[in-house]
Amino acid sequence: MPVAAKRVFRLSLSVALSLALAYGTAQALPFIAPLFAFMLGAAPKPPLGPKGLLGLVLALCVTLGSGLLLVPLLQHYPAVGLMVALAGLFLANYVTLNLGKAMVGALLTVGIAMISAIGLMGYGIGWLLIQAMCVNVAIAVISQWLVYPFFPEDGGAAPQPPAPQPAQSSWLALRATLIVFPSYLLVLSNPTLYAPIIMKSVALGQQVSETDMRVAGRELIGSTLLAALLAVVMWWCLKLSPTLWMYTLWTLAFGVFIIARVYGVAPTRFTPSFWSNVMITLLIFIGPAVGDTESGKDPYKASAVRLGLFLGVTVYAWWTLVTLEWLRKRRQFVRQAVGDGGPL
């Protein structure tokens, strides 16, 4: 089997298996397990070992627990708490972009944004969310352990893009922070309603390459709309037989369809980052919708609200990317004009 095909089946099976284990063992927020299975397994390399898993869980507890430290500040000194949260989001994005620690930065962002907002409802709820995320991450890694021996990575790792320069990393970190922070303010107003957009805004904040800038509309808005369309199709497929087995199999089928395009097995004019965003957004769409049916909510109304929020966040992210890039280029032009002694 070609190496790319192995990667497709390995990642798709890991996502589907983690979903089955999380829902089968009745975990809280079970849709997080397949989401992390995709994020942790997207890079073509062996899964974490036992020590790596232990270190990841400890790092998860520390990074997510940092959000609870913001709760007293947000309750008693809101302005100071927001400034500290803004600085923390910048640090998280800087760690992601300058130090190459994408997972640590993403977890720190989620901890600062989501955990601090949920913690305003009560420390107990915040700790339950941290425990749920730790358990689901462990399920994601265990699923990778079970699947990897059948599809080992023997073709060498895929080439990695060059790391950005420190000055560029600071600019990109600022850009990502300005994308996430308004979503954080929205979540603070109603944590239970707006919490899903944090994961979406974190994914949007990772759009850092120059190619993403040139095709921002297609990369951001297009992937969100396609994920919503696929979520509708998957939902109607689930209605034919609403069981965990079929949920797992449909997740596997849709995962193979999307991940084959992430790794280039199925030729497409869209970039791998486009399809990665489609997969992440699809999981964020379909997981809460299944949870809505369990809690007695109207999944159609809740999904429509979620889609509107995602599109709003996506359009804002696109506008932020374009505006900040225009300001940066204008500033460079002014500096060059002043340095050359030419007219402004």
Each residue's pLDDT, cut to its tens digit, for the chain (344 residues) gives 788 888 999 999 999 999 999 999 988 888 889 988 998 888 888 888 888 888 878 877 877 787 788 888 888 888 888 888 888 888 877 777 666 666 667 777 777 777 888 888 777 787 888 888 889 889 999 999 999 999 887 755 444 444 445 445 577 777 778 777 887 887 787 776 666 677 667 666 665 444 445 556 667 777 888 888 999 899 999 888 889 999 999 999 999 999 999 988 888 888 887 888 889 889 888 888 887 777 667 677 777 777 777 777 777 777 777 777 777 677 666 666 666 555 44
| Model pLDDT, residue 164 | 47
Distance CA 232, CA 288 (A): 13
Taking alpha carbons only, the member of 197, 172, 174, 169 closest to residue 185 is 197
Predicted TM-score (pTM) of this structure = 0.80
- Predicted confidence at residue 162, as pLDDT, reads 46
| Distance in angstroms (rounded) separating the CA atoms of residues 334 and 340 | 10
Whole-Å CA distances, 144 to 21, 198, 200? 12, 25, 24
- Residue pair 269/215 in contact (Cβ under 8 Å)? The answer is no
pLDDT at residue 10 in the model: 93
Q: How confident is the model at residue 301, as a pLDDT?
A: 76
Q: Can you give the C-alpha Rg of the chain in angstroms?
A: 20
Which residue type does 53 have? L
Domain that holds residue 14: 3-155+163-340
Instruction: Give, in degrees to the nearest 5, the angle at Cα 41 between 224 and 289.
Output: 40
Q: Give DSSP secondary structure letters for 188-227.
A: HH-HHHHTHHHHHHHHHHT--SHHHHHTHIIIIIIHHHHH
Give yes or no for a contact between 239 and 293, defined as CB atoms under 8 angstroms apart: no
Neighbour tally for 216: CB within 10 Å: 20
Q: What is the pLDDT of residue 251?
A: 94
* Closest to 74 in 3D by CA, of 126, 119, 106: 119
Counting the structural domains of the chain, the total is 1
Query: Across the chain, how many H-helices and E-strands are there?
Result: 17, 0
